[in-house]
Structure 1
Amino acid sequence: MNVTTSDITSEWAPDPSVLPVWFAEALAVPREEGFVTVDGVRLHYFRWGNPAAPPVLMTHGFLSHARCFAFVAPFLARDYHVVAYDLSGMGDSDVRPDCDMAARGRELIGVAEALGLLGHARKPILAAHSFGSAVALTAIELAPTTFGGAVICDMMVLRPSELEKYRSNGRTSPGSGDPNRPHRRYPDYLNARARYVLSPPQPVGEPFLMDYMAYHALRREGTDWTWKFSPDVFKRDNSQRLWLEIGLRLVAASGRKAIIHGEKSQLFTRDSRQYLRELGGRDIPIIAVPEARHHLMLDQPLAFTAALRAVIEEWSIGD
């Protein structure tokens, strides 16, 4: 299905005229929306740009959805074939039973194959946020020669002592949660919207983007509203070991890598930069987006997009 209109609705944007022009124009860029089936599971995706152009594949953070890139990808669409998809069990994708990180890595490779990204002369570049970055790293480990590079966007990389300190303060790692706790139901959208929070908690630089993300994280069920993601994603995605080893895996992963993070992020800090250098990642470019926290596309969307585009363009020149 070709989409030529925006995602703007009266429920989350009662006065669309107050939205920035850049945002409305980005959402008006033509895109394709659809589903592909990977290993028996139906996955939801968006596609922008010319399929003959160099490919870029985007993955989102835990319990989020592909629309976190819906106002970023259009800025790449003139020069690249860009795909963003909902991880299984999140957004509008179906659930993959007992989905561990290896299954998610295979899923990413399957999406790239199903949408024709692996048939181009240039290998797909991955752009991944938070938990999605761990998925991207897993895909690279499973298929080391398949991708042209990975832009890691504010993935949690903390040295073990800092990770322990983070957890001792009552904060949870991406992927943590109770799979046996059913979703709450809310009588209307406003009550549901009031329960939408970010993890880790933070203010956002562009509140209208928070509203946008919240609206598309919810669904109607009869007369009630509830969350799109499935509690089943907590069954295999809450590995504590994952985040202890992620720095070493990032350094060891093959191919080109770059890191973009929020300068005020709790999950990738000044010490994270030093920690990666100590692990041997001295050749990995690290870009800090000023005034941004972990959810950097909600804080500084244009600055984040500029940094992402600069990395991808530099790699494209080098191909």
Structure 2
Amino acid sequence: MIMNNPFLSFRFSLFLSLSLTASSSSALFFSKRSPSSPSTPTATPSDLFAVLASKPQSLAVNPIVAQDLKSCFKFLVPFSPNSVKLDPTLRSPRRLLGLTKSASRSQREEDELIWWPPEPVLELARLAIDSGGDPAAIQRALDPTIIPCVLDSGYKICGTIIVPDIEGSKECRCELTRTPYGRHFVSEELNQYIKFLFDLIVARGPSVGLNVTLNRFDLFHGHLFLAVDSGRLGILFHAKEYPEYDEEVFPYNMGFCQTGSKLKYDDSMNLRNILWLAPLPHNSTKSWEAPGVLVVLDARPDGIIYRDLIPDYVSIARTIYEDDLGVVAVDVNYLNLGSEPPHYQLFIC
């Protein structure tokens, strides 16, 4: 979730909102989870990452936990680490061309862009490991300069970019980003790759039951982090960010940014956490242990992700918090600067 006010913890504000509403809410929203048996193993973020890594790492996870986690994975790109050759130099030359021209890419080429991204992404993934999971190493890859603005279809594009009004957000006193300005990576290919991830989630989401739209109430942001224990580079995307207030279905006030939302709260909230993991470098050689991953994490109430990885106080929102997965380096925001036709721009905060 995002903070409407940078000085107010969203976790606290959401918890307060849910608490104040609890007395008038139905048992559906505040039914207690069934306590786990003392003998039931619990899943951790490290287990999640291990199951999505190499086969030896996956086999090290408790088999019951591994099986339950796999039952909650809805892959947007096929996941078969043993069948994907662990050599990024073998990737199709054509898939490296025209990263933003999705109409010219086949499904296989899009899959390969997840398994083996362009070289700047691989370099960032290795930097995350080599730095020992230091977020400052990722932040140093951002463009530090304020460069002269140039016009791109009537919109100002700068090294450091002031976040403008997004779909009427300013009128509602809604601040969508952590900071009032955004930045880009020095590598333009990195910036284009992040945009590609947003677009691919929208395009492939319906195949697993996730229908999302790129707008300020639904999918517009992700959190780039370095995973606990391994330092693996990842982005946790949050869709369904601000559902519409509804006294019967979703009687929760989420602040200024919820104002004007027409996003219905329904079972698709179970699918709001989408995880991208970069290919996993070996920590002592130049080889690679696992290809990249793009997966929806199903937080249905009878699943292990809901039980073990969703905090109790936001179970209604089905939110996995990025801080629980690792150390956050930056937020990536993909925002619509125009109306018709939409004009999306990346803001890294």
- TM-score, normalised by the number of residues in structure 1: 0.28
- Highest RCO, 1 vs 2 (Cα 8 Å, sep ≥ 6): 2
Work out which of the two has the higher radius of gyration on C-alpha atoms and give 1 or 2: 2
